Amino acid sequence: MSYFSHHVFFCLNQRKDDQPCCYRLGTDALFSYTKQKIHEVGLSGPGKVRINKAGCLSRCSEGPVLVIYPEAIWYTYIDQEDIDEIIHSHLLKGQIVERLRI
């Protein structure tokens, strides 16, 4: 059994040139928001959900992106409402959010 039921990796890669990157799309703030929400709904800790920073996940043109394991489901998102939907549908109920899936 895994130490966490789900691992959520947020691309927070920041490029120095003008190439697209998730960081420029507000991922740092939404990463922090997600960590807070996971704690508020009681999903943080061993056996539950772990929210992690990641470097480049090589899907820059589809960003911002996050990926949830063990299912390996890739999502794009825009705002807190999208993050809330991913938390409540995928992480709490086990239902993939098709409209945000990459």
User: Is the full-model pTM beyond 0.85?
Assistant: yes
State the pLDDT at residue 61: 85
Distance (Å, rounded) from C-alpha 26 to C-alpha 47? 29
How far apart CA 15 and CA 39 sit, in angstroms, is 30
What was the pLDDT predicted at 1? 61
pLDDT one digit per residue (tens) for the chain, 102 residues? 679 999 999 999 988 888 788 888 889 999 999 999 999 999 999 999 999 999 999 898 888 999 999 999 999 999 999 999 999 999 999 999 999 999
Q: Residue 59 to residues 11, 47, 56, 66: CA-CA distances in angstroms?
A: 9, 29, 8, 10
- Can you say how many angstroms the Cα of residue 64 is from the centroid of all Cα atoms in its chain? 9
Architecture of domain 6-100: 3-Layer(aba) Sandwich (3.40)
In the block, tokens 């409402």 appear at 81
CA 19 from centroid of its chain's CA atoms: 21
pLDDT at 94: 96
Contact 52, 7 (CB under 8 A): yes
Asked if 9 and 67 count as a contact pair (C-beta separation under 8 A), the reply is: yes
